[in-house]
Chains A and B, each alone.
Chain A
Amino acid sequence: MTETLASQPWLSLITFLPLLGAILIPASRMGRPVDANGQMSAKDQSMADKVAKNIALLFTLMTFVLSVVVYLAYYDPALPGYQLVEKVEWLGDGVNYKMGVDGISILFILLTTFIMPICILASWDSIKHRIGDYMMAFLVMETLMIGVFSALDLFLFYFFFEGSLIPMFLIIGVWGSKGTKQFAGIEMPSRVYAALKFFLFTLLGSVLLLVAMAYMYFKAGTTDVPTLQQFKFDADVQTWLWLAFFASFAVKVPMWPVHTWLPDAHVQAPTAGSVILAAILLKMGGYGFLRFSLPIFPIASDAFAPLVFALSIVAIIYTSLVALAQEDMKKLIAYSSVAHMGFVTMGTFSGTEQGVEGALFQMLSHGFISGALFLCVGVLYDRIHTREIAAYGGLVHRMPFYAFLFLFFTLGNAGLPGVSGFVGEFLTMTGAFLYNSWIAFFAATGVILSAAYALRLYRQVMYGELSKPGLLAIPDVDRRELLMLGTLMAFALYLGFNPTPALDVFSPSVDALVEGYSAAIAAGGR
């Protein structure tokens, strides 16, 4: 496949611009007097916090604008191959610093840069301590996430992919919510438990990924992704490598049964952390399947497809049922995330154009919708400080605008046509149907269940009499919240009615991917 070199290192600029912001935050604090404990005076502290917030907002916005400009000016959506490619000698001997994007990755970069300013805004008032560090963590994370989607060297990818966990750990572990939990016989903060669980799940995957990577490098003599995609590994070797990659990506997606870290992580993370987790971090797994598993190990992917379908279907039905039983708003949405990502893995491994494009679209759309749902929960949490469904009821009387927005995203989550979620869900199911109608049959039951749990949540929180004393004076969304949710709604609605622009960006690269995939399977003797 052809690679088009970039005139300027645009991708690197986009990737590292947030990091520059992260460096500026501590720099801006320098010179302010501190006491013996290293604490600034209250006035200085609030000043420094304000500066940190503004730097973070400014840099995330700049990154967003830059990415949009680069996309519009330099990205050609008609080309199937990698574009804006940069390559710099790094560790030598086939391991380079290589960046580049194609139709599969470019929109994830835009999604990341778009979601980040919203996350900063979402944290504006709700984070009370160590604000500078918090903003730094987010900026560093943005760099790492963009890196994941633009790295064209496996080793570089690994660096970004694993590195992005560190700021997320911090965000959950330091700024997570209160409460304690018994774990391994010790009492610890729940947020630490959540982060630890995250760690245990992920560790397994990354170790295997690393081993597989080393083996591939040993075999192919390079970690260059386009080269590896052309490199034909033996079928039996593919099996083991595929499993190793699968272990890592499946945890990230997360697929059943390695999903249990997600509800805990979501519940404990601050609102913006949940948004990032749902909107971007989960997508790294789905992206990994499309970038590596399918093109590099086509024969193994095809052979393991039934396993993936089985796990996806279990994820869709199982987690939807579990979502029905939830008492915590965030947990409910987290479980519904697992179900929705089940559609992604299902579409991906159908190996059809509709399935793969649907999977990509579902990931984009899920970024808007579930991100917005976590923001919606955050709006309530900021006011009442509980996520328990039973603590609410009748909010529609006091919060008409919020009721409207929350309803929109609830229905979008349930896959209502006209909202972006429907497009991805339907295309992935169509792709699965083409593969085997049983898969679509089971997946479609998720459509029934999603309506049930989504509407149940909405009913219990919003409808009924407003009678709980703590809620009587609850204010409606303010301008900042309206801006965040309104923007997300606009995108979800626009893509719901007119998904073609996004689908057109996917299609050249997906065409090529699907073609290569089918050819490889045919050659491999299915």
Chain B
Amino acid sequence: MEPFVVLLPLFGAMLAMPLGRLSGPRAAEIATTALVGLAALYSWHLFFDVAMGAQNARTVTLFTWFSSGDFVADWAVRLDTLSAVMLVVVNTVSFLVHFYSIGYMHEDDGRPRFFAYLSLFTFAMLSLVTADNFMQLFFGWEGVGLASYLLIGFWFKKKSANDAAIKAFVVNRVGDFGFALGIMGVFYVFKSVEFDAVFSVVKANAEVTPWGAAAGAPVRDLTITFLGQDFHALTTIAVLLFIGAMGKSAQFLLHTWLPDAMEGPTPVSALIHAATMVTAGVFLVCRCSIIFENAPDAAALVTLVGAITALFAASVGLLQDDIKKVVAYSTCSQLGFMFFAAGVGAYGAAMFHLLTHAFFKALLFLGSGAVIHGMHHEQDIKKMGGVKELLPFTHMLMFIGTIAITGVGAPGLILFGAPFGTAGFVSKDVILESAFLAGEAGRPFGAFAFGIGLVAAVFTSFYSWRLMYLTFYRRSRAPEHVRKHPHAAPDAMMIPLVPLAIGALFAGMAFYPHFVGKNAEHFWNGALYLPSAESHAAAPSHGDAGEAAASTPSHAAPGPADHAAPAAAEAHVEGGHHVPLWVLWAPFIAMLIGLMTAALHYGRGDPLKPGFLRPGGIVYGFLKNKWYFDEIYDFLLVRPALAFGRFLWKEGDGRTIDGVGPDGVAAAVAQGARRIVRVQTGYMYHYAFAMLVGIALFVTFILLRSGGGE
């Protein structure tokens, strides 16, 4: 039964095109939506079965995929709390997006294809999250990349869409380059690519002997030679895997594809480029949390990159005028929050934010879709204004999304064991507090991430309210006919937003106790690294490790596994009482600063008047041009690669190899060649003749030898 939770969307993907041909697009829409809906129901069932209640974690194996010596990987459905959470997120959002697309895409000719791609994406994402080995995870990883490529380029007549699609795929491949090497590194060290085998070795700190090495060592102390240098084995693997995560989750340096990916239809942006696919990197880090926890340098890198991304993307988001680009940069920034949470060891918090973010970001994207639809496909918020009057319901939903992302709540107020506030408030606060505590405990970049996170929170609040002001409030700047006749969104587009809005408001409070609160240990059940669970479990079973852990002061220097994060986790258990009051209030105040600034600037006078940053200024240009990453990459990588390819072709192949080789030789024997080519296929006989001569010589040789021998 369990495989169906993955396979149902695949059936939908395969059925959509034939159904579209036979009985029209409506049949394809209904079939795919219904199948994903079924999968969503089933994943909620599994979620309660695996994570919330009985803890029936299990793995269902289908058949072997790879089998070459020790390199064995199965097609499997691994169900533990981590995959169950992802199943729920992916299938639920996917179902709602399918539903929404029935309305949003109703004028498009390629609907069956669109729904086939959406379902294909869902299948790939599900096979990613339910993998029980690195290879299947990689399969899903590339599969979602493919679906993303197809959907970004869905309107394939547009050059910009095609360019964006290719860019997304190729930049992701840069990440996959690291990911693939990471998997090979795993196999090199562990002689297996199965999660259970690998993680249990790391957990027990068992002795391993890398391939071809003379002697082994306990895995946490092992050094391997990578690219001619000796490195700590787990750090090397973790960094390589993280490079993959950076690509997929659009982290700093590999983020350039995500804003361009907004060329795809808006439901795609909501599903793939906000709620699910881009969170795959966070999922990967959490899945391998036991490795990252024992690779402190790698964890520090995750923290650093996450924090930089959170700030960088938010800073670019400040000045974007395209409604989808604002939300896209916001996604990029929120992913940064998730990463630095994971980096400081708060994996539960990272997954928690992943969940709440899926709700409010899908809501914001789909809401933006409704705005774009209503404003006759206008995406520039400078040309909007006053949309609240035209689309009041959409405004309400977007407002909920905005208070969720900016983090409106009541700091310090605990109701039913959870802080009181919107989903984003609860989860973002947990992250910032974890970072603060990790910083206190001396974990590298913990304090840095906390500080950066606060600044990013100010930016987040500012660009979110700026978007609200420019889009919904003040006088309308839209052309007459748009103002007079806004397109009211069909019900199919509005209904799916309601559950998302409910999630954006309440998911934080509802799931807090399980993800990071008092039930966390029971909830996660070993699916990801929890410091408290680790220290409890370690003591009885591994005497040495337990003693070592016990003898380490809990606020000692930064190091693997046992220090910073337990403090953070305990803090959550008790509802944030361990952090000073100012830390508790800081995110809320950051939100208020952003809100006030936006309100002051956009709430009165001309909303389009220049702000602190004058157009034409250096900072303005820097932000407006997204820190010039596209230009730099184009100049440093893309153009040289193309030019170098041409050079190698013309000069390397043409002038050097052929020039010295066949052409050169031929020129030298031009006389002979001239004679040969006189008969069109004459050289052929020549060759056959040469071969015959050779054979004749050989036969002669044999005969001579046998003659001599006998």
Contacts and interface: CB of A to CB of B under 8 A. Distances in A.
A193 to B, nearest CB: 9
Interface stretch (A197-205, A273-281, A300-308, A470-478): A197-205
What are the 3 closest A-B residue pairs judged by CB atoms, nearest first?
A: A321-B645, A325-B645, A433-B184
A260 B655 CA distance: 11
A497 B143 CA distance: 13
A318 B657 CA distance: 13
B669 interface: yes
B698 interface: yes
A416 interface: yes
Contacts of B153: 459, 463
Interface in B570-610: none
Given A196-B666, A260-B657, A429 B184 contact: yes
Nearest to A434: B211
Interface string B43-87: 000000000000000000001111111010001000000000000
B187 A430 contact: yes
B181 A464 contact: no
A459 B677 contact: no
B677 A93 contact: no
B579 to A, nearest CB: 43
Contacts of A159: 695
B162 A459 contact: yes
Contacts of A195: 683-684
Given A498-B63, A499-B66, 18 more contacts: A92-B702, A184-B663, A201-B661, A207-B694, A218-B705, A318-B648, A325-B646, A325-B649, A426-B180, A427-B68, A437-B225, A437-B226, A438-B227, A445-B177, A448-B174, A455-B170, A499-B65, A507-B69
Given A325-B645, A440-B184, A418 B143 contact: yes
B649 A322 contact: yes
A24 B223 CA distance: 67
Interface stretch (B311-319, B332-340, B685-693): B685-693
Nearest to A432: B184
A447 interface: yes
Contacts of B686: 199
A433 B225 CA distance: 11
B689 to A, nearest CB: 11
A97 to B, nearest CB: 14
Contacts of A448: 170, 173-174, 176-177
A121 B444 CA distance: 65
Interface in A383-429: 394, 396, 411, 416-418, 422-423, 426-427, 429
Nearest to A417: B139
Interface stretch (A74-82, A160-168, A229-237): A160-168
Interface string B157-192: 101001001100110011011001100110110000
A323 B181 contact: no
B103 to A, nearest CB: 25
B263 to A, nearest CB: 13
Interface in A233-271: 257-258, 260-261, 263
A253 to B, nearest CB: 15
Interface string B140-154: 001100100100010
Nearest to A174: B681
Given A438-B227, A440-B184, A444-B181, A163 B691 contact: yes
Interface string B656-684: 01100111011101100110110011011
26 contacts: A92-B702, A169-B684, A184-B669, A192-B681, A200-B666, A260-B657, A263-B653, A318-B648, A322-B648, A322-B652, A324-B645, A354-B69, A396-B156, A429-B180, A429-B184, A430-B71, A437-B188, A441-B227, A444-B180, A447-B177, A455-B170, A464-B156, A464-B157, A498-B65, A503-B68, A504-B67
Contact of A354 (B68, B166, B644, B709): B68
Contact of A185 (B68, B184, B670, B703): B670
A517 to B, nearest CB: 14
A325 B673 CA distance: 31
Interface of B: 63-69, 71, 75, 135, 138-139, 142-143, 146, 149, 153, 156-157, 159, 162, 165-166, 169-170, 173-174, 176-177, 180-181, 184-185, 187-188, 211-212, 225-228, 641-642, 644-646, 648-649, 652-653, 657-658, 661-663, 665-667, 669-670, 673-674, 676-677, 680-681, 683-684, 686-688, 690-691, 694-695, 697-699, 701-703, 705-706, 709
B73 to A, nearest CB: 10
A464 B69 contact: no
Nearest to B681: A173
Contacts of B665: 200
B662 A260 contact: yes
B645 A185 contact: no
Given A159-B695, A166-B684, A199-B687, A184 B670 contact: yes
Contacts of B701: 214, 217
Contacts of B67: 500, 503-504
Given A203-B690, A321-B644, A433 B677 contact: no
Contacts of A203: 687, 690
A383 to B, nearest CB: 20
B687 A451 contact: no
A110 interface: no
A358 B225 contact: no
Given A185-B667, A321-B648, A455-B166, A196 B227 contact: no
Given A206-B691, A260-B661, A455-B170, A93 B673 contact: no
A164 to B, nearest CB: 11
A463 B162 contact: yes
Query: B interface, by DSSP: helix, strand, loop or mixed?
Result: helix
Contacts of B697: 210, 214
Contacts of B691: 162-163, 206
Nearest to A456: B166
A263 B654 CA distance: 11
Nearest to B688: A166
A126 interface: no
Nearest to B650: A325
Interface string A344-367: 000000001110011000000000
Interface centre among A422, A429, A451 (most CB of B within 10 A): A451
Given A196-B677, A323-B645, A417-B142, A444 B177 contact: yes
Contacts of B159: 464
Contacts of B677: 186, 188, 192, 196
Contacts of B680: 173-174, 189, 192
Contacts of A447: 173, 176-177, 180
A395 to B, nearest CB: 11
Interface string A145-166: 0000000000100010011011
Nearest to A197: B662
A127 interface: no
A213 interface: yes
Interface centre among A173, A358, A394 (most CB of B within 10 A): A173
A199 B649 contact: no
A464 B162 contact: yes
A494 interface: no
Given A169-B684, A213-B698, A324 B142 contact: no
Contacts of A465: 157
A377 interface: no
B687 A169 contact: yes
Given A92-B706, A184-B666, A206 B143 contact: no
Contact of A500 (B64, B228, B673): B64
Contacts of A188: 677
A438 B166 contact: no
A188 B156 CA distance: 42
Contact of A452 (B170, B181, B670): B170
B642 A325 contact: yes
